[in-house]
Amino acid sequence: MQQRQLGPFQVSAIGLGCMNLSHAYGAPPPPEEAARLLLRALDLGVTLFDTAALYGFGANEELVGRTLAPHRAKFTLASKCGMQGVDGKRVIDGRPDTLKKTCEDSLRRLRTEVIDLYYLHRWDKQVPIEDSVGALADLVRAGKIRTIGLSEVSAATLRRAHAVHPVTALQNEYSLWTRNAELGTLEATRELGIVFVAFSPLARAFLTGKLRDVGGLDDKDIRRNMPRFEPDNYASNLKLLDDFEHLARDANCTMAQLALAWLLARGDHVVPIPGTTKIEHLQENLGAAEVRINAEMMARLDALINEQTVSGNRYAEATRREIDTETF
């Protein structure tokens, strides 16, 4: 597996987002199947595993801890605070005392003494970013976490946070069909020596070519509330996939592999973390590290799928108000 530097850690160029093993896309797989996938990822060379207190309201951290604690020395562990389940509801809370309490709960669920990379999952706009990052810095000094990350923030907020304590990673959505990173954060992370961790790098399955009908999505699938997956918008977006499939064929790889290879080519500081519930998809995704695409292919991809050719916003308006990333 190709390696990339993430602060003090050397990690696999493609990590594993663990969210959908417990959260977000309808009924999760049985725990034993989820555990098999985590262990298979480790066997295949994945050394960055990403979870959060929010995912399954703690269930995902428990799964990762239960399964991977015996192998703790073999991988870099990332989790998140600042957005979690409270009385069955998702709550954004960046107050220092809350972040420190969440960390203690996560350490217990993850069965570890220290979390390698700990993100502020969302900036709570009621709390100055300096105060939230200050709390994370306290956790570093206490030996509870090793490094600090942020998620879904703008370049300006990233710079404010980085002035309080060095930020190791920024985790924002980035893929061919979500280009907000190109409005500032991709360049800011490069300039500051921060790793850009790309979540939803396969556009929540759109770029795999395997999701052709959104009508069958589970009632609790979060994509049902995302404008890009509304029937009319999705029908328009599907028209992009025929040409994308042809490009993948030209590159001698699958559509998912081409989407991930495009991200890897965006910069040595970019680390995508695709998630999946199926081992065959895991193996396919990791194969992207061996795909090489030239400048001509990059240009063809950029022209085909971008902010102007994709229909619909990535989030509904209520969610858009919660986040801090730049928008077109």
3-state secondary structure of 314: coil
Rounded to an integer, what distance in angstroms lies between the CA atom of residue 55 and that of residue 79? 10
Token pair for 64: 């990762």
* Domains in the chain: ranges and CATH: 3-204+265-292 (3.20.20.100)
Burial 254-266 (b: 16+ CB within 10 A, else e): bbbbbbbbbbbbb
For 103, the enclosing helix (H) or strand (E) is helix 96-110
Do the strands 270-272 and 195-199 form a parallel or antiparallel pair, or are they unpaired? parallel
Tokens of 183: 């409005």
Per the structure block, which two tokens stand in for 178? 């979500």
pLDDT along the chain (328 residues), means of 10: 97 98 94 98 98 97 98 98 93 98 98 98 98 98 98 98 98 98 98 98 98 94 97 98 98 98 98 98 98 97 98 96 95
Strands of 115-120's sheet in order across: 16-17, 48-50, 76-81, 115-120, 145-151, 169-173, 195-199, 270-272
The pLDDT of residue 88 is: 87
How, if at all, do strands 270-272 and 169-173 pair? unpaired
Closest to 216 measured CA to CA, from 195, 200, 234, 240: 234
Instruction: Look up the pTM and report it.
Output: 0.97
pLDDT, one tens digit per residue, over 215-228 is 999 999 999 999 99
Residue by residue, DSSP assigns 130-175 as: HHHHHHHHHHHHTTSEEEEEEES--HHHHHHHHHHS---EEEEE-B
- Which one of 25, 55, 118, 315 is the catalytic residue? 55
DSSP, residue by residue, 266-295: T-TTEEE----S-HHHHHHHHGGGG----H
What was the pLDDT predicted at 191?
98
- CA-to-CA distance for 76 and 112, rounded, in angstroms? 12
To the query of whether residue 174 is one of the catalytic residues in this protein, the response is: no
The residue among 149, 181, 183 whose CA lies nearest residue 166 is 149
Strand, coil or helix: what is 196?
strand
Task: Give CA–CA dist 200/17, Å, rounded.
Answer: 9
